[in-house]
Amino acid sequence: MADKEYDIIIVGSGAGGGMATYQLANAGLTVALVEAGGYYDPAADEQRTQLRNPWESPRRGASTRRRPFGDYNACIGGWDLDGEPYTQKGDTEFMWWRGRMLGGRTNHWGRISLRFGPLDFKRRDIDGLGENWPIGYEDVKPYYDKVDKLIGVFGSNEGLYNDPDGFFLPAPKPRLHELYYIDGARKLNVPVYPARKSMLTKRINDERGVCYYCGQCSRACSIHADFSSSTALIYPALRGGRVDLYTNSMVREVITDARGKATGVSYINKEDKKEYALKGRIVVLAASACSSARILLNSKSAHHVNGLGNSSGHVGRYLHDSTGASRAAFLPELMNRDIYNEDGVGGMHVYTPWWLENAALDFPRGYHLEIGGGMGMPSYGFGFAANQYNEYLDKRVGGYGNGLRDDIRRFYGARLSIACRGESVPQFDNYCELDPTVVDEWGIPVLRFNYQWTDYEINQAKHMQDSMEALLEASGGILLGDKPGAERNYGLAKPGEIIHEVGTTRMGLNPKTSVTNEFGQLHDANNVFVVDAGTFVSQADKNPTWTILALSWRASDYIVEQMKQQNI
């Protein structure tokens, strides 16, 4: 296949790469899909972690360096990869997550699928910070609509201006702890709605199953009832016969000709450790915001001396992640629960979107609330501090003997937690760049991060903590742990920890201050596109995946159109 010239080479098989593969292959184009990890299908029993009992793992589901979210999490990847380091500038503590599997991170995410709203594309108009997107909600809406129908997302139409309605599947009913939260939120006039997540609560086609409520989406679904790029996009695309899949293939750079146009990519086959090249008319980068930036920066040539697409010096700039903070409470009313199966879908059934858009606050941008709790399956960590809530019952904490069994049952499922996910303000000075000296195990220069939160994010985290306390208490909870104060940035997660990093190849009208146009097409090379979250001008207080999918579809339509017109 080495001599074959593909119409399209797509680097990365996550949300952006999967959608581009599906759309471009269905448009009749030949596609090489290049993935740095291995083949993955949760329907194959040898790759199944779903529905396993804790004792099937010697560590009972405990996390490891290679499975940061637990031994049964579907992730193959993480913040700390063998042979693939990254470095930090100064006291930066950026955490860079990378997936290394077909489908990438879409195999093990929370499936929270929120459209950006009209305000999210024009934040500069509202607060004067950062930059507006070159497009608005009306440009993306038709694609959100199509993504909803193609992939499936449950939710509810609430008529909220900045949390737009969609073509939703019906929502799962709230669990008991979520009913406590609903009542608590309503007491405080905080809105609460059914969550919006891409699990199939109802059939959408004959290829994918319907959710059977094991609550284990993070383990990847063997009946393909939740969305991952591989299950919903790549397998169907592969069946069409126009896609060649290259797994365990680590792209080094985009190859360009004397005129600066891309002619293909070079990659290392991780199995034989040798270097290969693929030829293509168009290169589509979907390796994730930072990985695509890294590939561009490593694609230096006489024509692109600072790296491909980097005449503006903006590749890697404006890197930003969602903000995050969390808190938990003990709910005495949930002691001694009746035990029944309430696994439901993976994660929350209800959520609170940002509700203070027009309030006077000392930070510019919002956040949403994710609700946690319930009678989960015991795994490593279950039973730690088994009777710590005794302190609220005038009983002694600690001890030994069969009485501990009663403690375990008394407090099982008596916990309510909230996690906040918010919007940060993109900064020119938060960036990734090539480390001048460090390379990975294939000799490819690695990324070095420079990232500091600003008062915008820190003040927002302070507000998150106040909100969570008020809501947990209004729900009948006794707050657990200490409230983090200024000395801990109010519990603000480290940058990269929320794994919503975006912005490194942002889109814009001005080639001097942006890397791509509104379709992810490089200003500097018209046959190279970026369809991951690198093109985001600002990451809303939403999760990025649904927007990655919509924008990748939109870019794919543009590519097909431009090829027809022979512009590229």
Partner 1 sequence: MSEPSETKHPIDRRDVLKALMLAPVSGAMLASTGCAVVSESNKQPITWTRLPTQYSYARTDVEKQRDAELFAETFFREHELVTIAVLCDIILPSDHENGGALAAGLPDFVEFMAKDREQHKLPLRGGIAWIDNYSLENFGSRFVEADIEQQLAICDAIAYPDVQDEALQPGIAFFSLMRNMTLTGYYTTELGFRDLGYVGNTPNIWDGVPDAVLARHGKSYDAQWLAKCVDQSRRNITAEWDDEMNLIT
CA distance 535 to 549: 12
- For residues 185-204, which are near partner 1 according to CB under 8 A? 194, 201-204
Q: Across 311-427, where does the E strand assignment appear?
A: 323-330, 350-352, 367-373, 415-422
Q: Do residues 257 and 263 touch, judged by C-beta distance below 8 A?
A: yes
Minimum CB separation of residue 362 from partner 1 in Å reads 34
Rule CB under 8 A: say whether 142 interacts with partner 1: no
- Using CB under 8 A, which of the segments 205-213, 226-234, 285-293, 539-547 binds partner 1? 205-213
The residues, ordered by sequence, that sit 6+ positions from 443 with a Cβ below 8 Å of its Cβ are: none
CA distance 125 to 161: 16
CA distance 247 to 231: 16
Listed residue (200, 216, 32, 16) closest to 99, CA to CA: 16
Rule CB under 8 A: say whether 168 interacts with partner 1: yes
Tokens of 85: 């380091």
The number of residues that bind partner 1 (CB under 8 A) is 90
The single residue among 4, 5, 28, 51 that binds partner 1, judged by CB under 8 A, is: 51
Q: Dihedrals φ, ψ of 279, to 5°?
A: -105, 140
For the beta carbon of residue 437, count every other beta carbon within 10 angstroms: 9
Give CA 89 to chain center in angstroms.
Answer: 24
- Using CB under 8 A, which of the segments 132-140, 248-256, 401-409, 479-487 binds partner 1? 401-409
- Using CB under 8 A, which of the segments 45-53, 116-124, 261-269, 429-437 binds partner 1? 45-53
The single residue among 189, 341, 565, 566 that binds partner 1, judged by CB under 8 A, is: 341
CA distance 232 to 224: 8
- For residues 245-274, which are near partner 1 according to CB under 8 A? none
Rule CB under 8 A: say whether 345 interacts with partner 1: yes
The single residue among 4, 187, 395, 409 that binds partner 1, judged by CB under 8 A, is: 409
Taking the least distance from each CB to partner 1, the nearer of 375 and 498 is 375
Taking the least distance from each CB to partner 1, the nearer of 115 and 506 is 115
Rule CB under 8 A: say whether 228 interacts with partner 1: no
Q: Across 451-530, where does the E strand assignment appear?
A: 478-479, 528-530
Coil, strand, or helix at residue 304? coil
- Residue 505: C-alpha distances to residues 183, 197, 362, 428, 451 (Å): 43, 27, 29, 12, 16
Minimum CB separation of residue 414 from partner 1 in Å reads 12
Q: Do residues 192 and 186 touch, judged by C-beta distance below 8 A?
A: yes
The single residue among 98, 108, 115, 175 that binds partner 1, judged by CB under 8 A, is: 175
User: Terminus-to-terminus CA distance in the chain, angstroms?
Assistant: 23
Minimum CB separation of residue 355 from partner 1 in Å reads 17
- For residues 381-400, which are near partner 1 according to CB under 8 A? 381-386, 396-400
Q: Do residues 200 and 192 touch, judged by C-beta distance below 8 A?
A: no
Rule CB under 8 A: say whether 214 interacts with partner 1: yes
Minimum CB separation of residue 71 from partner 1 in Å reads 8
Minimum CB separation of residue 560 from partner 1 in Å reads 25
Minimum CB separation of residue 336 from partner 1 in Å reads 10
The single residue among 404, 458, 478, 479 that binds partner 1, judged by CB under 8 A, is: 404
- For residues 52-111, which are near partner 1 according to CB under 8 A? 52-62, 64, 66-67, 72, 76, 82
Taking the least distance from each CB to partner 1, the nearer of 147 and 386 is 386
Supply the DSSP symbol for 440. -
Minimum CB separation of residue 208 from partner 1 in Å reads 11
Minimum CB separation of residue 175 from partner 1 in Å reads 7
Run of H or E residues at 450 = strand 445-450
Minimum CB separation of residue 255 from partner 1 in Å reads 30
Taking the least distance from each CB to partner 1, the nearer of 358 and 402 is 402
Minimum CB separation of residue 400 from partner 1 in Å reads 5
Minimum CB separation of residue 300 from partner 1 in Å reads 32
Taking the least distance from each CB to partner 1, the nearer of 475 and 505 is 475
The single residue among 184, 309, 344, 503 that binds partner 1, judged by CB under 8 A, is: 344
Tokens of 226: 């939740």
The single residue among 43, 129, 135, 210 that binds partner 1, judged by CB under 8 A, is: 210
**Which sign does the torsion angle of CA 195, 200, 204, 208 carry?**
positive
The CA-based angle 9-153-358, given to 5 degrees, is 100
CA distance 363 to 13: 36
Tokens of 76: 């193959």
